[in-house]
Amino acid sequence: MLKAEFAAPDLKALAREGFVADMHFHTRHSHDCATPVKEIIRKARQLGIWVALTDHNRIGGVLEARKYKDAPVIPGIELCSREGKEIIAYFYDDRDLEAFYSKRIKPYLKEKNALRSSRTPIPMADILDFLSRENCVVHVPHPFGPQPRRGYTFFSRKQRAHLLTLVHSVEVFNSQMTRRANLSAMGWMVQLGKGGAAGSDGHRLRSLGRAVTMSDAGTVEEHLDRIRKGDVRVYGTELKQHERAWEYASTTVKVKLQNGVRDGIRKGIALPGKARRRILDELRITRMD
C-alpha cells in the first residue's frame, strides 16, 4: 500500500534504504525548459537518486542520456492529447520507447510556433490504445492541476471512464501543485485502486528531488512494477504560491519567448544581421530538437 509523507525528503538517507527516483522531470528537449541533460544526470548522481525524463511529446532527453555511461535515468515521455490532457508513459527499456515514438507519435507531430500549446493531434483514446500494446506503465500526471491540464474531469466523464482501465497509476504528489490538489489526487488513486508515484515536475535543476518515489526495488524494472502495484512511499513538499509563479515565469514564459524569437528568425523575420546575432547572443538560444 502506498504511503506518503509531506516533508522535504532526506535523499541520501532514503537512497541508503531503497530505490529513490524523481518520476517527473523535463529537459531542454521540452518546449518550456532549457535545463541540459548533462546537468540533470550530474545532479542526480550527486543526490544519489534516479530521474524519469518525461519531456513533452519528445524523447530527445532520453536519447541524449545514452551518451552517459550508467546514467540514473528512467525512460519516459509526457504526451499531450488533442483534448489538451496529458499522460506519462514510463518504459522499461529506452529502445522500446524509441520504437514506440517513431511509429506512433513522431509521424503526427508538426513544427509549430513555440508560443502555442504543446498538444498533439492524437486523441487520448488513441494514445492509450497505442500504449496498451507496449511494455510500459501508464501514469496520469497532476490530475487536479489547473485547466486545461486537469485530467480528473476528463477521465471522470461517464463516456470516458472506460479509458481508466488502460491506466496503471496516478501522480499523487507533484511539487508544482497545491496541497489540496495533491491530497485530491491521492484520494482519487485510492478510489480507483490504482498505483501511484510522485515527481517534482521540475523544469529547473534546483527542483530535482523535491518530490520522490521510493521502493525496495533493486532495478528500474522492479521499481516500475512497484509503482504499478502501489507498493511505494512518496515524499515531497510543494512550492509556495509565489515560488510557483516565479517557476512559471522563469521557465515556461522565458523559454517559450526565446523559442518564439528563434523560430521567427529561422522562418525569415526581416531583421538586420547585427540585430539577429545580438538577439541570439543575449537570449543564449540554442537548437532544441
pLDDT in tens, 60-88: 999 999 999 999 999 999 999 999 999 99
116 and 46: one domain?
Answer: yes
Rounded mean pLDDT, 109-128:
79
Report d(CA 269, CA 110) in Å as an integer: 20
Residue 288 lies in a domain: no
Which CATH number goes with the domain that contains 190? 3.20.20.140
190 and 255: one domain?
Answer: no
141 and 179: one domain?
Answer: yes
Residue 259: is its pLDDT beyond 70?
no
Residue 113: is its pLDDT beyond 60?
no
124 and 267: one domain?
Answer: no
40 and 136: one domain?
Answer: yes
What is the 8-class DSSP label of residue 33?
-
Amino acid 148: pLDDT: 85
Residue 262: is its pLDDT beyond 70?
no
181 and 205: one domain?
Answer: yes
pTM: 0.86
81 and 177: one domain?
Answer: yes
168 and 111: one domain?
Answer: yes
105 and 134: one domain?
Answer: yes
Q: What's the pLDDT tens digit per position in 165-190?
A: 999 999 999 999 999 999 999 999 99
- What is the pLDDT confidence band of residue 250, given thresholds at 50, 70 and 90? low
Q: Is 133 helix (H, G, I), strand (E, B) or coil?
A: coil
Q: What is the mean pLDDT of the chain?
A: 88
Amino acid 87: pLDDT: 98
- What is the pLDDT confidence band of residue 110, given thresholds at 50, 70 and 90? confident
Amino acid 111: pLDDT: 64
231 and 270: one domain?
Answer: no
Report d(CA 78, CA 132) in Å as an integer: 15
- What is the pLDDT confidence band of residue 112, given thresholds at 50, 70 and 90? low
Which residues constitute the domain of residue 161? 3-241
Residue 24: is its pLDDT beyond 60?
yes
Amino acid 203: pLDDT: 94
Residue 56: is its pLDDT beyond 50?
yes
What residues are paired with 90 via a beta bridge? 76, 137
- What is the pLDDT confidence band of residue 115, given thresholds at 50, 70 and 90? very low
Residue 15 lies in a domain: yes
Q: Helix/strand/coil (H, E, C) string of 62-108?
A: HHHHCCCCCCCEEEEEEEECCCCCEEEEEECCHHHHHHHHHHHHHHH
152 and 268: one domain?
Answer: no
Residue 289 lies in a domain: no
Neighbouring CB atoms inside 10 A of 41's CB total 22
* Contacts with 76 (C-beta within 8 Å, 6 or more apart), sequence order: 23, 52, 53, 54, 62, 88, 89, 90, 91, 97
Residue 288: is its pLDDT beyond 50?
no
212 and 276: one domain?
Answer: no
Q: Count of domains in the chain?
A: 2
Report d(CA 234, CA 174) in Å as an integer: 10
Residues above pLDDT 90, as percent of the chain: 78
